[in-house]
Structure formats: structure tokens, C-alpha cells
Amino acid sequence: MRTVLIMATSDVAEAVTALGGRVLKQEPELGAIRAEIPVAQLKKLAALEFVTHVQVDEDIQRDEPLP
């Protein structure tokens, strides 16, 4: 599962659930939701005609620890 921020022109919560994910938070005034979705379903989600943007949260690895 990956946490994603989804921007869409219509309610995308049902599509997230249909793809095996779950909605974490809805921001209807922004047209966005935060959700967890299986990695294998990310391309299907991004290809939906009403989805305008998908941002995947990723951990950033550092070569050295913080001081």
C-alpha cells in the first residue's frame, strides 16, 4: 500500500475503494483526498478520466544521519 494525494474533478472515494484502497481524509473544498492504495493499482487510478493529479508519498533516504 502507498499513501497518495489525489486531485479529481469528481468524487474519487468510490474508485479508491473499488481499486482495493481506503480513504484516509477528504478535502472536498480542494477537490482532493488522501488515501492508501495498492501499488499495483496506482496506474489504474491515475488513468481515470476524472483524476487530474496523483502524488505518491515516499520516504527519502539520507546517506548520513541528521546531527
Tens digit of each residue's pLDDT (9 = 90 or more) over 16-58: 999 999 999 998 888 899 999 999 999 999 999 999 999 988 6
- 8, 52 contact by CB (below 8 A): yes
Kindly report the length of the chain. 67
pLDDT band for position 10 (50/70/90)? confident
Q: Give the position of cell 478535502.
A: 27
CA dist 5 to 26, 30, 63, 64, 65, Å?
Answer: 10, 11, 27, 29, 28
* pTM (2 d.p.): 0.79
